[in-house]
Amino acid sequence: MARLLLFAATTGYQIRVFAEAALRLGVDLTLATDRCHVMEDPWGDHAIPVRFGDVPASLPACMEALRGRQFDAVAAVGDAPAVLAAEVADAFGIPFHPPAAARACHDKYLARQLFEAAGLPVPQFFRVPLEGDPDTAARRAPFPCVLKPLGLSASRGVIRANDPDEFRAAFARIKKLLASEPRSQYLQVEAYIPGREFAVEGIVTRGAARILAIFDKPDALEGPFFEETIYVTPSREAAVVQREMRESVERAVRALGLYHGPFHAELRFNERGVWMLEVAARPIGGLCSKALRFGDGMPLEELALRHAMGDVVDGLRLADAASGVMMIPIPRGGVYEDAAGVEDARAIEGVDDVIVTAKVGQALVPLPEGASYLGFIFARGGEPAKVERTLRRAHAKLTFRIATALPTLGGG
């Protein structure tokens, strides 16, 4: 039986889909995840406990847990898991993204340097220590500019600043956010890039990149925060623009050194061409992958599993004429109580599903500090503009009740 080692940060949709695909294909799947180290196999699934936030410490512990075992393939869900997966794959001699490439994808400053060295357009950028002087940094800043953590994803902690006052406020806000990230010592400052934004899903086979889908992001993402909402594929851009995007993504993949496995890229396009924002050494995150189906309905995770196991997946194409997902934004902070209109939204023609992921009693934190959404809406069929309209109509049917969080009272 073929054996796959999957690195994933938490239980969730993508792990379940990987597990279901492994069962169908007769693949023995072993999970390495950041669950409790104290309890002995708390979920009874023989998962290997690791700490993705501390790869240097986790790597020897992980290798010790895997001593004497053999694997045919490695896969990863999430940015930090991809870094540890790359180290383990390298130690086992399994085709995957090299450790240096995975680390570069997880470090916006290093990625920018590699893009610049490869001749890709990059905005003016520099790195600032979190303990540095924000006033000094603001004097270097090309306004308008964007401040961002080096290793967070999904636009978390990304803030636009138009003047020194906004710069200082953004700096303080990011520094506070990163206080719980002991390995975060810097933030990045770069010139704001105007233009339309896109996401690109792809896979690399021994160094050769293949684009699986280009997503339009039809909502304007101009700041001060950059919360993503709607993704729709295929792109409605002209063929010449799509070709330029594909070529730029392929150059970025080579510049980073990605070798074997999925990738997820973000970019902007304006009158000066394509500007790469980042490339992640993993597939699109969480439930968003439900927007992509291949062949006769194969999920993205199964395609990635088959590819990792050595299957040829070049012939697989998107199953739907058009599809999309809306990540339902959190309008304000508070405590989630309930949602109404879900069934009405699901009843709209073209809606594939509406999933509310917020839990009753959950503290909701919007961007730039937050790392979650209220839920997801999926739509398929017709053409991209219709899918976008369907997503917006479904969202308009939903109402969410969010209670104002009471302040914590100190005792004495």
The mean pLDDT value of the chain amounts to 94
**CATH at 85:** 3.40.50.20
Quick one: pLDDT band at residue 412, thresholds 50, 70, 90?
very low
Reported as a single tens digit per residue, the pLDDT across 338-373 is 999 999 999 999 999 999 999 999 999 999 999 899
Asked if residue 129 and residue 85 are part of one domain, the reply reads no
Asked if residue 410 and residue 332 are part of one domain, the reply reads yes
Asked if residue 157 and residue 78 are part of one domain, the reply reads no
Structurally, the chain folds into a number of domains equal to 3
Q: How far is the C-alpha of 310 from the C-alpha of 308, rounded, in Å?
A: 5
Are 202 and 210 within 8 A, CB to CB? yes
Quick one: pLDDT band at residue 46, thresholds 50, 70, 90?
confident
Residue 297 lies in a domain: no
Asked if residue 43 and residue 128 are part of one domain, the reply reads no
Residue 38 has pLDDT above 90, yes or no: no
Q: How far is the C-alpha of 223 from the C-alpha of 184, rounded, in Å?
A: 23
Are 76 and 89 within 8 A, CB to CB? no
Q: How far is the C-alpha of 391 from the C-alpha of 215, rounded, in Å?
A: 14
Q: How far is the C-alpha of 28 from the C-alpha of 34, rounded, in Å?
A: 20
Residue 33 lies in a domain: yes
End-to-end C-alpha distance for the chain, whole angstroms: 62
Q: How far is the C-alpha of 251 from the C-alpha of 277, rounded, in Å?
A: 13
Residue 198 lies in a domain: no
Which SS3 state, helix, strand or coil, does residue 49 take?
strand
Q: How far is the C-alpha of 336 from the C-alpha of 256, rounded, in Å?
A: 40
> By residue range, what is the domain housing residue 393?
320-412
* Residue-wise DSSP of 180-235: G-TT--EEEEEE---SEEEEEEEEEETTEEEEEEEEEE-S---SS-----EEEES-
Are 189 and 146 within 8 A, CB to CB? yes
Asked if residue 7 and residue 53 are part of one domain, the reply reads yes
Residue 130 lies in a domain: yes
Give me 284's structure tokens.
């699109």
The candidate with the shortest Cα–Cα distance to 238, out of 190, 278, 198, 275, is: 198
Please state the separation of Cα 121 from the chain's center in Å: 22
Of all residues in the chain, the percent with pLDDT exceeding 70 is: 95
**Mean pLDDT confidence for 2-29:** 92
Q: How far is the C-alpha of 303 from the C-alpha of 311, rounded, in Å?
A: 9
Exposed (0-12), middle (13-18) or buried (19+): which is 333, by Cβ within 10 Å? middle
Asked if residue 76 and residue 33 are part of one domain, the reply reads yes
Q: What is the pTM of this model?
A: 0.94
Asked if residue 86 and residue 28 are part of one domain, the reply reads yes
Cross-strand pairs, 323: 233, 380
**Mean pLDDT confidence for 374-378:** 98
- Burial pattern 246-280, b for ≥16 Cβ within 10 A else e, equals bebbbbbbbbbbbbbbbbbbbbbbeeeebbbbbbb
**Mean pLDDT confidence for 85-93:** 97
**CATH at 363:** 3.90.1170.50
Reported as a single tens digit per residue, the pLDDT across 100-123 is 999 999 999 999 999 999 999 999
Residue where a domain terminates, one of 75, 94, 113: 94
Residue 76 lies in a domain: yes
Residue where a domain terminates, one of 42, 74, 94: 94
Asked if residue 88 and residue 33 are part of one domain, the reply reads yes
Asked if residue 139 and residue 65 are part of one domain, the reply reads no
Residue 207 lies in a domain: no
Q: Name the maximum alpha-carbon separation found in the chain.
A: 68
Residue 102 lies in a domain: no
Residue where a domain terminates, one of 191, 211, 236: 191
**CATH at 138:** 3.30.1490.20
Q: How far is the C-alpha of 7 from the C-alpha of 14, rounded, in Å?
A: 11
Asked if residue 133 and residue 57 are part of one domain, the reply reads no
Reported as a single tens digit per residue, the pLDDT across 121-141 is 999 999 999 999 999 999 999
Quick one: pLDDT band at residue 317, thresholds 50, 70, 90?
very high
Asked if residue 385 and residue 342 are part of one domain, the reply reads yes
Residue 69 lies in a domain: yes
Asked if residue 410 and residue 324 are part of one domain, the reply reads yes
